[in-house]
Amino acid sequence: MADKNSICPQCGKEFECGAKARLEKCWCFSFPHIISPGEGKDCLCPACVEEKISARTKQTKLTIYRGDITKLHVDAIVNAANSALLGGGGVDGAIHRAAGPELLTECRRLGGCKTGEAKVTKGYNLPATYVIHTVGPVWRGGDQNEPELLASCYKESLLLAHSIGVKTIAFPAISCGLYGYPINKASFIAVTAVKNILTFHSQFKEVFFVCFDERSESAYRQALVV
Ligand code: AR6
């Protein structure tokens, strides 16, 4: 009957999942820690939740793309900006150069952007219709809220994209250049944050993780198979 073993979130002991058809209960060996909401409702055991997440995110293709984000024909590209939103180096500089001076004019009107938040402009001369500007955290060793702030960049960018009807979107490796975030950690956060949002907003057709070099590409490949 049991097809997956897992840990009961209530008592920390192993339990059996008996809810393949989502009709039976999942229960913990140490009865009475019953963790299923019961017949007719979705099972909440970790095995079933995981299954549900992958079913919902299946409608969106997650693609690793090696190259220049400014060349992509997508509804929106994400810019790894700074809080002034007035341009800079790295991917920010490349996006401003490719979009043309009107992008900076629109950015001046936005009043900056806080770390972990996102703002949108048009794409001007870019093939992408929109640019979503987000500000990643500077890496300071990992205990200054960097993971939460980085995850927030992906979350806020996707929520903003969702609100303007974007179906295809491309992310660079936010914070992994000048801001020094280790790519192996950042790629995992990026993929997890994107998958989490896709469980609630399934209208996205394709999300691109754009990698500028081989190291980033292999980090994303590993993050996507976990
Ligand atoms: N296409 C795709 N990825 C790119 C491109 C490109 N054209 N150019 C660089 N990358 P970074 P950050 C990669 O430094 O770390 C700016 O000055 C790059 O290899 O652009 O968030 C801003 O104004 C790296 O993997 O952004 C801020 O001041 C990733 O994009 C600051 O840098 C991000 O590197 C933000 O730093």
pLDDT of 79-100, one tens digit each? 999 999 999 999 999 999 999 9
pLDDT in tens, 91-126: 999 999 999 999 999 999 999 999 999 999 999 999
- As for how many domains the chain has, the answer is 2
The residue whose CA has the least distance to atom 20 of ligand 1 is: 90
- My answer on whether 166 and 118 are in the same domain is yes
- My answer on whether 200 and 221 are in the same domain is yes
From 3, 68, 75, 92, the catalytic residue: 92
| Confidence (pTM) | 0.81
- My answer on whether 98 and 147 are in the same domain is yes
Q: List CB contacts of 54: < 8 A, sequence separation 6 or more.
A: none
In ligand 1, the atom with minimum distance to the C-alpha of 216 is 25
What range does the domain containing 77 cover?
61-225
92 flagged as catalytic: yes
CB-ligand 1 contact for 34 (6 Å cutoff): no
pLDDT of residue 53: 62
The residue whose CA has the least distance to atom 10 of ligand 1 is: 91
Cα dihedral 96, 100, 101, 104 sign: negative
CA distances from 138 to 17, 96, 180 (A): 42, 21, 7
Sites in the chain below the pLDDT cut of 70: 1-56, 226
CA distances from 168 to 9, 66, 89, 97, 173 (A): 36, 16, 25, 22, 17
- My answer on whether 21 and 129 are in the same domain is no
CB-ligand 1 contact for 173 (6 Å cutoff): yes
- My answer on whether 112 and 18 are in the same domain is no
In ligand 1, the atom with minimum distance to the C-alpha of 90 is 20
